[in-house]
Chains A and B, each alone.
Chain A
């Protein structure tokens, strides 16, 4: 005897049940998997809409509710499943879109800012044309004391003379310079006792440029900048300001700019950091890889337990992003490259130990057997049958890891881990997008080079 066929049960009761709780009617009619599906779909749709506070999207759970009643009515054929699926996916997608605040308009609305970021990026600051500089200066008293010293000074060939020997704000001075390169533009500017550079061209807003004559002489009228005494505690106290003259001319060829030098330094630090962490990580991973190899440890319950423990720890460590680990280490050991090094090393140990142990698991027992059969000792078996099988792969994996570590240490530099990432971070904060783009280029070049190199080596070893 069969139990009461669900079909005999009242359709009306089922519909009422489904109207109260979605899926209940279907369940009452015996369609339990369907009931569960309908219930979960409606509840998750309703929950997501309420949680993210998007009342407009309540349309969808409502539609699903209606669909559910309709479905109950039409059982056993039911309402079209694709409709419910589409509704649910529409909800998930729509709310997901809003929750992640996807806003393509932001690109267009901020085009001005986008331009100010991208334009300088087109002129990366890495090289500059080689130049030489000829410079001279003289000290001038502002304001005048009772007996101002003579304002004349010679640096190498360049003699600068100012008359009168002292002045107050806005007063005119005659600057004469001898010994400059002939027929070259010469910059003239003011420097306060605390080293602030003041422009003296135009309305004190432009560099004063004077071209030297055949004999390498200039004569210029300079007014003491009105802001020359800003931030001076006592403006009546005579202090020594300076008038600078400077010529710069190209001598052909290019050289590395100042930021270019920093980038080289950063790249070197990053490569070294990555190398150090990789080596350290590999050394620590090596002894861990054997107890983490299933084929070596599955023989006995105790060894298998050790295997499970080590594998679990390694998996957990590996799943923590190195950057997050770096932040944790920053809290422990303080800001600086050491925190980054620790984080990368821990991550490297976990990753390499797993990869190494997979190599050990994949070892071919045949050669071991063959070498044992020749009467070799245990050490000889390891040397002639085990090491040749694992060393090339270990090496390949280690180089691959170095490759990864170079990329990771770039990011870790962001949290004060040193290296190129640290410079990049500073330039981003300073809005120096020319330096930022040279950084990008340098990182890309290094990563691509390493990538090719490690792929080559791995190909040869693999």
Chain B
């Protein structure tokens, strides 16, 4: 294991924003996707999770907001146990945690506006939202979120009429509607070309730095880890094999995470962008 010296210390008595304790997930098929994973996340951190395909990154992120039920272990949100929360409690925790996906996960046939507004469902009046009625203030909020990611002009387009980069920006705007304290981003750029990848990550960085939103983001490219992360966790076969600052992760550490046989994944074009 690695030295924990790099782990940011927090003042005594104040608990971290998120605590993941001994998290284990075994799928019904028998696959052990996470094995006894523990770490803390402080407010305003930009935590990057790296690991090979199949190492359990998506499973980890989804266990945090319980889109996937963990097999054992606990996840504490502001000291409150998410894993033991009743449905209503869980929903009110979820609305504070935005999520951005690799495949964008937009409703392709719905308009951009409807997709963005759906990010507000956790706050909306349940009955009015069911008939698709949104107060003007929420529509304005949606417009502001779209302006923030620079695609306000696409508001009435169908989601599938947009390019990949634009769709992911809609995804970010949808998460913004939640006014989240934490943003989970599961390989948000894996389906995008390098230039677009940077622009999406810059939005996340801006949210992190300006708005003070904590970010947990899984990534593939080491270069990007160095550029954006404030702290890094490495997963391998569901086990946490690295935790530390981005500068601590060199070729050697990288091989630990990605396996001896792996070549370093470099995206030289990213540096140019």
A interface list, Cβ under 8 A from B: 364, 366-367, 369-377, 379-380, 383-385, 388-389, 392
Contact = CB atoms under 8 A, between A and B. Distances in A.
9 contacts: A366-B105, A367-B108, A373-B97, A374-B121, A374-B122, A375-B122, A375-B178, A383-B132, A389-B107
B205 to A, nearest CB: 21
Interface residues of B, number: 37
Contacts of A364: 105, 108
Contacts of A371: 118, 121
B106 interface: yes
Contacts of B92: 375
B120 A369 contact: no
B109 interface: yes
Contacts of A373: 65, 67, 94, 97-99, 184
Contact of A369 (B67, B118, B126): B67
Given A374-B121, A375-B178, A366 B103 contact: yes
Nearest to A365: B105
Task: Name the residue in A373, A379, A385 with the highest tally of chain B Cβ atoms < 10 Å from its Cβ.
Answer: A373
B95 interface: yes
A233 B184 CA distance: 102
Interface in B182-219: 184
B118 A384 contact: yes
Interface of B: 62, 65, 67, 91-99, 101, 103-110, 114, 118-122, 124, 126, 129-130, 132, 171, 174, 177-178, 184
Contact of A374 (B106, B107, B108, B120): B120
Contacts of B126: 377, 379-380
A135 B123 CA distance: 81
Contacts of A374: 94-95, 98-99, 118-122, 174, 177-178
Contacts of A392: 109
B99 A375 contact: no
Contacts of B103: 366
Given A377-B121, A384-B114, 6 more contacts: A372-B67, A374-B98, A380-B121, A383-B129, A384-B118, A389-B109
A375 B120 CA distance: 9
Nearest to B129: A380
Contacts of A375: 91-96, 121-122, 178
Contacts of A379: 126, 130
Nearest to A382: B130
B39 to A, nearest CB: 21
Contacts of A372: 67, 94
Nearest to B130: A383
Contacts of A369: 62, 67, 101, 105
Nearest to A380: B121
